[in-house]
Chains A and B, each alone.
Chain A
Amino acid sequence: MGWLVPIVAVLAALIVGAIMLLTLDADPIDGYRAMVSGAFSGADNLADTAVKSMPLLLVGVGICIAFRAGVINIGGEGQIIAGAVVSSLVALGLPGLPPILLIPAVIIAGAVGGGIWGAIPGALKAYAGVNEILSTIMMNIIAAQIMSFLLQDLLIEEGAIRIQQTKRLSENADLPLLPGGTRMHIGVLVAIAVAVLGHYLLFRSSAGMRLRAVGHNPEAARYAGLPVEKSVVHALALSGACAGVAGSVLVFGSQSHRLIGEGGAAAFTQNAGFNGIVAALFGGLHPLATVPASFLFGGMLTGGIEMQRELQVPAALILAINGVVVVFVVGSLRWRQRLVRLVERQLDGRGVAS
């Protein structure tokens, strides 16, 4: 029964979205029809949805790890950027490497960049008591400005027009397309692999056991001799590494062959650092359940573009709806707990009776 709650939350959010559409003089039924067909009809749209959902999934898996370990990571945006910048530097530095080496190198570089960007607020929390919500937000701002600095000064192409972008990155780092003639590339597989790894880490390994114990009750974990401080750093570093991979995939999965910062950091990340939180919450902070959840929210993003085309309703609507989803899901978590408890009690009762 518990899984019903997030679905109801999304339906409720879609009703709020319908009201917004009505006040904007757009027919909600036409709107949602355009959205669904833009997202899920035909191989091309499905592939676009998969590509759009991949950063959400990667960030979402990181969110699962962090939240389960009891740390709130709002720094997805900055960690994506850190991953993108470090992986671009690697591609710029080693352009001659063959794809078989360069592609893993840029993805690992993304994980390292994002991991460092997560480990810093982790260490600040563990050893200086700095609230991680605030520090991760500040790290977002810092990452955005560093990217803007690099793309205007150090990484800029000599004599090119002043657009915030790197020079052309090596084609050897391009993520290969998957067969089928769509725009789907192996980044999608990377993201799913990370979700499986995340699941294994959290629920099938002793490290995950430790992280969850610390998240569940830090005092008890400390009493049991678990390294609480280290776990906090590890959780945020791993969480950041997942988001960092998203940054690297965003750069090398696009056909642009550049890291483009024009239009601000959010134009590059497409708010995936925040929307990934939505997907993870919807997936019940479970990495594998975050896979379909990300696909759903990725579908809303691709569908939103179609809706913008057909009904002239700006795609920003989707962001607003996502906000409402968060509000409803978080608001209903308590109700879900209550529901689960209720069901358990009934089952217990039955057990006693029989």
Chain B
Amino acid sequence: MSEFFTVSVLVTTAASGIRLATPFLFAALGEAVGQRSGVLNLGVEGVMLLGAYAAYKTALETDSATAGVLAALFVGLLMGIIYAVMTVVMRAEQGISGIGIFLFGLGLSDLLFQKQVGTPVSITGLRDWHVPVLSDIPHVGEVLFQHNPLVYAAFMLVPFTWFVVNRTTFGLNIRAVGETPEAADTLGVSVVRVRTGTILIGNAMAGLAGGALALEVGIFQQNLTSGRGFIAIALVYFGAWRAFGVLAGSLLFGIVSAVVLQWKTLGIIEGGTASLASMAPAVLTIFVLVLVSRRIGSPSALTRPYERSG
């Protein structure tokens, strides 16, 4: 254990925790915005997988990680259109249709990978960009300011999301539609338009989350996300639907994963014990859900399709 508590190892672990938190942040912030408007999207995992494959395949073909990022965003938007038609227009039950999207993404990403790529070839991700001056601060610089642009983007999205949800008209509409769609509708806010908007945002960010993950690990494989999309949904509850709460949860999960990985690398834990350690985030999520569920109310209209009554 002593080999873990050296400055250099701790700094590396913290930096990797920040990187691992990035996909969680993208996906969970997008999901939070959707849920604030009353839409539960359980398909995040599937959309992440499709985004990850799109980013991987595009980066492989074009040698450009930036093109991969754009492809992931595009695929996310595409899935957003499908999900919006299903849940807002056709008013399908949100929980189960999300599972449909998950299965679709799990199957299709694996299908395309096996058919189009087959043997995994690794890709080069986005290049790190050292923030001038700040990255030279000892230790802190390495932890916070020596990452690729997607990491900075994810963290800057936190205050941005907070601002949009709490300080703009669009945000007010989102919250109104998520709490009492009837009242919002009476006041001339289009429930369909607001929810379609948040679904597109949420899915695009889920796609981006998958892309960020694929570019970070530099490879695609079947079920690459292995539950991260579902954990992102739980993080929204964890963070009580608030951007900074989601940030805290994502960081916690990112750092726990980084510590487990580091311990595995150093041989502090191995094989089976590492599996037990890997379930820590899931156990933690359940504990947090027990603590918060009764105390903090979800958006009142969450999962409730809106239909004008006659």
Q: Do A and B bind each other?
A: yes
Write the residues of chain A forming the contact surface with B, with a CB cutoff of 8 angstroms. Answer: 20, 24, 72, 74, 124, 128-131, 133-135, 137-142, 145-146, 148-154, 162, 264, 266, 271, 274-275, 277-278, 281, 312-314, 316-327, 330-331, 333-334
Q: Given A134-B233, A313-B115, is A334 in contact with B91 using a C-beta cutoff of 8 Å?
A: yes
- 19 of the cross-chain contacts (CB-CB < 8 Å) are A20-B111, A74-B42, A128-B289, A128-B290, A128-B293, A130-B290, A130-B293, A138-B282, A138-B285, A138-B286, A141-B281, A141-B282, A145-B278, A264-B223, A313-B115, A319-B107, A321-B107, A323-B101, A331-B97
Stretch at the interface among B68-76, B206-214, B269-277: B269-277
The answer to whether A320 touches B289, judged by C-beta atoms less than 8 angstroms apart, is no
Q: Is the CB of A316 within 8 A of B92?
A: no
**Which A residue sits closest to B307, measured CB to CB?**
A334
Top 6 A-B pairs, shortest CB-CB distance: A323-B104, A319-B107, A326-B100, A320-B107, A153-B272, A323-B103
- Please state if B103 and A24 are interface contacts (CB–CB under 8 Å): no
Looking at B82, B93, B279, the one whose CB has the most chain A CB atoms below 10 A away is B279
Known: A24-B115, A129-B293, A323-B100. A333 touches B107 (CB 8 A): no
Q: Which interface residue of B46, B91, B108, B281 has the most chain A CB atoms within 10 A?
A: B108
- Are B99's CB and A277's CB within 8 A? yes
Say whether B283 faces chain A, with CB atoms less than 8 Å apart.
yes
Q: Say whether B194 faces chain A, with CB atoms less than 8 Å apart.
A: no
Given A138-B286, A141-B282, decide whether A316 and B107 contact each other with a Cβ distance below 8 A: yes
B99 contacts across to A, CB distance below 8 A: 74, 274, 277, 326
> For residue B282, which residues in chain A have a CB less than 8 angstroms away from its CB?
138-139, 141-142, 145
Interchain nearest-CB distance for A112 vs B (Å)? 21
- Seed contacts A24-B115, A149-B276, A327-B86; 19 additional CB < 8 Å A-B pairs: A74-B42, A134-B233, A134-B285, A137-B227, A138-B286, A141-B230, A141-B279, A145-B276, A149-B273, A150-B272, A152-B275, A153-B271, A271-B103, A277-B99, A278-B103, A314-B115, A316-B107, A320-B108, A323-B104
Counted as pairs of residues, one from A and one from B, with CB atoms less than 8 Å apart, the total is 165
Query: B114 near A: Cβ within 8 Å?
Result: yes
Bound Cα distance A92, B261 (Å): 33
CA distance A323 to B223 in the complex (A): 15
Q: What residues on B are CB-neighbors of A266 within 8 Å?
A: 223
Q: Does B202 contact A (CB under 8 A)?
A: no
Q: How far is the CA of A62 from the CA of B111 in the complex (A)?
A: 29
Is B133 close to A, CB under 8 A?
no
Is B308 interfacial (CB 8 A cutoff)? no
**Interface presence of B95 (CB below 8 A):** yes
B153 is an interface residue with CB less than 8 A from chain A:
no
CB pair A316 B234 closer than 8 Å: no
A103 to chain B, nearest CB (A): 29
Q: Which residue of B lies closest to A67 (CB)?
A: B96
In Å, the complex CA distance between A138 and B279 comes to 9
Distance A137 CA – B271 CA, assembled complex (angstroms): 23
Q: Provided the pairs A142-B279, A145-B275, A323-B106 are in contact, do residues A134 and B237 lie with their beta carbons within 8 angstroms?
A: yes
* Chain A CB within 10 A, most for which of B96, B102, B106, B294: B96
